[in-house]
Structure 1
Amino acid sequence: MSGPQCCENPPALNPNSGEGTVEEFGGLKSYLTGSLEAKATVLLVSDIFGFEAPNLRKLADKIAVTGYFVVVPEFMHGDPYDPEDAARPLMVWLQDHAVDKGFEEAVPIVEAIKSKGFSTIGAAGFCWGGKVAVELAKAGYIQAAVLCHPTFVTVDDIKEVKAPIAVLGAEIDHISPPELVKQFEGAMLVDGYVKIFPGVEHGWTTRYDVADAEAVKNAEEAHKHMLDWFVKYVK
């Protein structure tokens, strides 16, 4: 369920991007933004390019401004996918970065969030991170989930989700095509919805060109759906 489209438009990673700080949190280096006095927490689970993607950190800061403490863990352990590394294609890289391991490492992050006094947690997952977020929702660790162009997520996964879930899909997506993503809505046993965004490709919510006004507009529309979902359920 992964392929070349998953690797297109890699971000120019910048460890110094964003307005937050990078600290160890729940056993992983993490980008933290927002106040510990916030009303609730949002966990962002990156795609295969990791937590140094400037657009991802910009989104984390945007969520924090609305009143959340936001955690973006470094699930890639300093080894984000490099499409230029011909000796290590995606399927080989994934052997070292399985989504099951991502879920296992997310659980201590959730416990660390709770140790800070937060009882309500939302999670958004992008591509690879979508599977991690859905596993958290299946296991009852979070109170709401948003999946953005998810990878590896199945209809059976959605049937087991225990938290309200919004799925934001792309019209042009060979990894999670609209015909699959639309099936998610009928499988939901909790409050949720699926929205297919027209004219956009897999990765559009975080891997957009900031100089492309239309791309920015499409990404920001998805961000609004995400924020609205968290405002409704993560409080």
Structure 2
Amino acid sequence: MSSSECFENPPTLLISTSNGVGTVQDVGGLKSYVTGSPHSKRAILFASDALGYETPKLRKLAAADQYLVVVPDFFYGDPSYPNNPDRDEWLKAHNTDKGHEDAKQVVAALKSKGLSAIGASGFCWGGNVVIKLAGSTDIQAAVVLHPGRVTDEDINEVKVPIAILGAEMDKIAPQEHIKHLGEILSAKSEIDSLVKIFPGVAHGWTVRYNDEDPFAVKSAEESHLDLINWFTKYVK
């Protein structure tokens, strides 16, 4: 998954943990940004891209009244940064297999608190973590947005309804490959799936868009609506 696209278009600021929207809590042993409804029996786990759990647009997207939303710090205070010359070493230190194990701990912790239905959504690095989660029935549904490099084997293991939202101009996950993954999913008649390619956008468009670009904002908002609709349908 090592590519400069994973580390481009950084956030211009980080959200303070005291902004009144959410709080930082320990969930399953990981520092996590928690927002949404504290009384909900339904939860959504967000797995961030390489820039980490503090990025503003990710936290803005996490605000959902009908769910408890948890955004863990899978990088333990060590997110990457734009144009990181040591990105290969960073990815070795923060591989998605470890992210998957950590995510399972978070899901288990949520279930221990009485959460009865859990969905998971991942972006780039986090998309690969969520696809691994979707290989079990620990979660009820998954949404993956501009993932890293996903293999046929990963998709063959999927056991829950999954939506994959790709970008027309994505070098990491080219639209041809995303469509190929969709063909594999279509053959799994027991699992509902959605594969959608967004025109005119590149890797990271859902959480690293330019607020001054109306087309970029519209495309991101459409992907956010798709995400919400998928979870509304399957995380009940």
Structure 1 length-normalised TM: 0.94
2:200 is matched with which residue?
199
1:77 deviates by 0.8
- Could you list the structure 1 runs, at least 4 aligned residues long, displaced by more than 3 angstroms after superposition: none
**Deviation (angstroms), 1:13:** 4.3
Matched, 1:106 2:103: yes
Query: 5+ unaligned residues in a row in structure 1: which ranges?
Result: none
Aligned to 1:174: 171
Separation in structure 2 between the aligned mates of residue 95 and residue 234 of structure 1, nearest angstrom: 33
Q: Hey, what's the Cα distance between the residues in 2 that align with 1:126 and 1:43? A: 11
1:155-206, CA deviations, whole angstroms, 9 ceiling, x for partnerless residues?
2211110000000000000000001000111111211020000000000000
**Residues 89-168 of structure 1: pairs in structure 2 closer than 5 A:** 89-168=86-165
Give distance in 2, aligned partners of 1:80 and 1:96.
11
User: Which residue is 2:82 aligned to?
Assistant: 83
Task: Classify 1:139/1:13 alpha carbon distance in 2 versus 1 (closer, same or farther; 3 Å).
Answer: farther
Quick one: distance in 2 between partners of 1:192 and 1:155?
15
Measure, in 2, the Cα distance between the counterparts of 1:126 and 1:140.
20
Letter in 1 for 2:230: W
Q: 1:39, CA displacement in angstroms?
A: 4.0
- Aligned counterpart for 2:54 among listed residues 42, 52, 55: 52
Q: Deviations for 1:122-143, whole angstroms, at most 9, x for unmatched residues?
A: 0000000011101111022211
How many Å apart are 1:211 and its aligned residue?
2.7
The SS at the match of 2:147 is coil
Q: Determine the C-alpha separation between the residues in 2 that align with 1:16 and 1:213.
A: 26
- Give the superposition deviation at 1:84: 4.8
- Match for 2:67: what amino acid? Y
Which residue type is aligned with residue 200 of structure 2? G
Superposition deviation, residue 72 in structure 1: 0.2
Alignment length, in residue pairs?
Answer: 230
Unmatched 5+ stretches in structure 2: none
Partner of 2:232: 231
TM-score (normalised: structure 2): 0.94
Provide the identity percentage. 54
- Residues 14-33 of structure 1: per-residue CA shift (max 9 Å, x gap): 14166111111110000000
